[in-house]
Structure 1
Amino acid sequence: MTTLQILIPTFALIVAGFLLRRHAGFNPGFWSDLEWLIYYILFPALLFGSLARHPLEIQSAAGMIYTGFIFMLAGMALGYLGQRWMRLGQREFASAFQCAFRFNSYIGFAILGGLYGAEGVAVFAILTGFMVPLANVGAVWALARHGNHGLLRELARNPLVLSTFAGLAWSLSGWPLPTMIDTTLGFLGEAALPLGLIAVGAGLQLAGVGRHAPAIAYLTLVKLIAVPAISVGAAMLFGISGVYLAAALVLAALPTASSAYILAVRMGGDGQIVAALIATHTLAAAITLPLWLFLIQ
């Protein structure tokens, strides 16, 4: 399948979620419950299953993982260095900082699965397995400093971190997944991606974009332009290609995760600026993602 054949259905589901939220007549509580189901059940099942059912080929994936660490840390550094120019208060900055480096895995899995099938999903799961804990450490660290939350306690309660480490541990153990468990995880994982994309669209909110324009412009350039560019340079440095290059570039070029809003609100941050950033990044990524992906075609 071509890049556009993958991206158009992906963003079509996001648009569908946006329209359903506003015109289908569902109660607001329905969308909150759906987000909870995806965040705590479906997506952890996808992460754990994708990692646990495939032996980790760390040696083959090493260059991709190193590339991921470089562009993730670069995103954190650029986000932090931009604090003086973004004109944000401490609470707003602690919330918005994560949008410089966090990524929407729902979109990433959909793209890699469409381009490379099961191999793409497995490789992307390996990369997210290493990047999700790093991204959550950075995001929780900033919000914990603001809200006096315990960093280790927040990480220990994060379902994405827990499912990632559990999946990595199972894979390294060499144990096969029992057939019934594997099948159940497969059903849950298959539901995670389309529902996750619909939930992304349903959660799009542009309120606050004008009030926070300097910060949103800066963080959009960092996340969708600077971080992917750094990933290309790092990929060239480590000589990665094929599905490993695609996974690294896609993850770097993804818009901010919708779970960033959940984390900000739960930890007492400013949800409005994060919601505005997620919406801006998602809309802008409809233009920037195809351009980056043309580099690897």
Structure 2
Amino acid sequence: MEVLGRLLALLVVLLLGTGLRATGILDAGRTTRLNAVAYYVALPALIFVSTYEQAIGTLLSTALVGGLLLVLFVTAGVAWLVHRNRDSKDRQSVAVIQSYHSNIGYLGVPLIAATFDQTVTAIASVILGVVTLVQLPLSVLILSTLNGADAAIGAKLRELATNPVLLTLLAGLSVGSLGLSVPGPAATGLDIVGSLALPLALLCVGASLEVDLPAVDYGATGSVVALKIVCMPALAWVVFSALAVDAATFTAAVVMFATPTAVSTFVFAAELGGDTEFASLNVFVTTLLSMGSLFLLISLVG
């Protein structure tokens, strides 16, 4: 019941963001500023606090990296097969990337931090780093290839090199691996700031959700939903069970892959010739339905 209560609270905050956008309180400018606070301040603080006491050798393993890559590429491959006959390339490209591109940063790490202990959160932060380095270039490549768009993949890779979340992850793991200490007041302050990551992220996601019901392609959207919030976490469950990883790694991996489609896929679609209405709809539906699927999954692994 505690897990259900937490996820219902998250759903309320998510819908609050949608309501604030509809009333004009969270307009585009305010949403952008709120998004910047979440992305550049709260989420990095959460990641640093969860990792600065952990040595990288205790979190990163061959089994973890291999399992993450296997789940990601197998899901992407299945998505390619499922969506290969979509009517248009702009819709096909969006359907493929949204079937595997997970919202592991804004929702995954903060949700795990609010639900599980610091060890699971630290592993989730490492998963965020590894998966982001792969899924972002992969999505840009797929969109640009199918839509004939001019994508500067090199520029995207340079953006990754200055990504505040990844830089904070490296800083936290470096402090932990070197056995350095962080002053108590600083750690407490960062912990407080990090606790804001999830509510801020949910408000931003809610303010970004839009849906045009008359334009719903039920078959395409249903396939994206099935692959993203059902098949991908199920595959992660099988893969990491077979790898016989520890309980914390198993929990972090399965829950992270169970997160909905990332809002950033809508941005990529807009930049690289994808079907933006379709992308927006899929973000909305996977986010809304994932509240129920995450409750079931967290109950099973918790």
* Shared fold per TM-score greater than 0.5: yes
2:64–2:249: 8 Å Cα contact kept in structure 1? yes
1:272: Cα distance to partner?
1.9
Change (3 A) 1:138 1:58: farther
1:281 aligns with 2:286: yes
Counterpart CA distance in 1 for 2:25 and 2:60 is 49
Residue equivalent to 1:171? 173
- Indicate if the aligned counterparts of 2:100 and 2:228 stay in contact, CA closer than 8 A: yes
- Asked whether the equivalents of residues 104 and 257 of structure 1 are also in contact (C-alpha less than 8 Å), the reply is yes
- Superposed CA deviations along residues 94-117 of structure 1, whole A, max 9, x for unmatched, are 333221112223332233223323
Give the deviation of 1:250 after TM superposition.
0.5
CA contact (8 A) 2:68 2:253 kept: yes
Whether 1:220 aligns to 2:219 is no
Superposition pairs for residues 69-218 of structure 1, below 5 Å?
69-87=69-87, 89-105=88-104, 106-145=106-145, 146-158=148-160, 161=163, 163-164=165-166, 167-168=169-170, 171-172=173-174, 174-175=177-178, 176=180, 179=183, 186=191, 188-207=193-212, 210-218=215-223
- Equivalent position of 1:229 in the other structure: 234
Instruction: Name stretches of at least 5 consecutive residues in structure 1 with no aligned partner.
Output: none
Where does residue 7 of structure 2 map in the other structure? 7
Q: Give the deviation of 1:152 after TM superposition.
A: 2.2
Equivalent position SS for 1:147: coil
Q: What displacement does 1:159 show?
A: 7.2
Q: Which amino acid aligns with 1:236?
A: S
Q: 1:93 to 1:184 in 2, by over 3 A?
A: farther
What are structure 2's unaligned runs of at least 5 residues? none
Q: 1:177 to 1:203 in 2, by over 3 A?
A: farther
Tell me how far 1:119 sits from its aligned partner: 2.3
Percent same amino acid at aligned positions? Answer: 21
Q: Answer whether contact 1:112 1:120 (CA < 8 A) is retained.
A: yes
- Alignment RMSD, CA only? 2.9
Which SS does the other structure have where 2:138 is aligned?
A: helix
Runs of 4+ in 1 over 6 A off after TM superposition: none
Name whichever of 60-69 and 117-126 sits farther off: 60-69
Q: Structure 1 43/265 Cα, relative in aligned 2: closer, same or farther at 3 Å?
A: farther
Q: How far apart are the structure 1 equivalents of 2:79 and 2:253?
A: 20
Alpha-carbon contact 2:44-2:169 (below 8 Å) kept:
no
Query: Are positions 1:65 and 2:70 aligned together?
Result: no
Amino acid at match of 1:131: V
CA contact (8 A) 2:59 2:126 kept: no
Report if the CA contact (8 A) 2:49-2:172 is conserved. no
Q: How many residues align?
A: 296
Rounded to whole Å, the distance in 1 between the matches of 2:167 and 2:204 is 25
Cα distance between partner residues in 2 of 1:60 and 1:137? 22
State which drifts further: 27-36 or 272-281. 27-36
Please say if residues 109 and 256 of structure 2, whose CA atoms lie closer than 8 Å, have aligned partners that are also in contact: no
With structure 2 as the length reference, what TM-score do the two structures score?
0.84
Q: Are the aligned partners of 2:26 and 2:207 in contact in 1 as well (CA < 8 Å)?
A: no
Q: Is the 1:156–1:162 contact (alpha carbons within 8 Å) kept by the matching residues of 2?
A: no
TM-score normalized with structure 1 length: 0.85
Report the Cα offset of residue 276 of structure 1. 0.7
